[in-house]
Amino acid sequence: MEAVLFAVTAVLALAGGVGVIASREPVHSVLGLLLVLVSLAADYLLLGAQFIAVLQVIIYAGAIVVLFVFVVMLLNIRSGEGAPDRVLPPALAIALSAAFAALLVAAGATARGPAASVGADFGTVQQVGRALFTAYALPFEAASIVLIIGMIGAVALTKRPAPWGTPPERRDGGGR
């Protein structure tokens, strides 16, 4: 049963990936990305990593896809506008794809033995929390600092200067 469910989610993820790169409409590409991310969350559930699956849905399928939709709406992109017809010649694209497929087959053929087993608590909230706040505490805090710097930069870049001649008490948008 697990193999059938994995096959279904794999086909859905591949279909979503093809939809992302083949669609000329930006919103359709975002919907294809959403299909890929939800399919990956289902794969995490099949692996028994419920917490990772929930994070996948909340963070990626929720927040990131909503962010992409907002960007598409703000940019007001029309279908086919400003996009080049082809990035690579078709023959080169097919050759690169074949080389990548051969590399994947070679990597799969050289894999030896069964996959490493994991403990029963793998992917649980307790396991992730313990790892996050012990072994990965410094990278976790560094990521939070980078995010705060990014938010400050976004606010600084979007803040418009006050028009020339505006009194100081009216420059912050408030005032009487």
Q: What's the pLDDT at 135?
A: 93
Identify whether residues 1 and 74 lie together within a single domain.
yes
74 and 135 both lie in a single domain: no
Query: Which of 78, 93, 110 lies at the terminal end of a domain, its last residue?
Result: 78
Domain match, 11 and 66 both: yes
Residue 68 Cα distances to 6, 22, 34, 48, 81, angstroms: 27, 17, 10, 29, 18
> How much is the pTM?
0.60
Q: Quote the number of domains for the chain.
A: 2
Domain end marker among 15, 44, 78: 78
Locate all alpha helices (DSSP H) within 84-170, ordered by sequence: 90-110, 125-133, 137-158
Q: Is 175 within a domain? A: no
* Residue at 42 is within a domain: yes
Q: Are residues 135 and 63 in the same domain?
A: no
pLDDT at 52: 86
Average pLDDT over residues 129-136: 90
Q: What CATH number does residue 49 fall under? A: 1.20.120.1200
Confidence tier at 80 by pLDDT (50, 70, 90):
low
- Residue 70 belongs to what domain range? 1-78
In a domain, 90, yes or no: no
Of the pLDDT bands very low, low, confident and very high (cuts 50, 70, 90), residue 25 is: confident
Choose one of 62, 78, 94: the last residue of a domain.
78
The answer to whether residue 112 is domain-embedded is no
Least confident of 11-15, 75-79, 158-162: 75-79
Res 37 pLDDT > 90 = yes
pLDDT tops 50 at residue 175 = no
3-state helix/strand/coil string of 14-68: HHHHHHHHHCCCHHHHHHHHHHHHHHHHHHHHHCCCHHHHHHHHHHHHHHHHHHH
At 176 the pLDDT is 45
Could you tell me what percent of the chain has a pLDDT over 70? 87
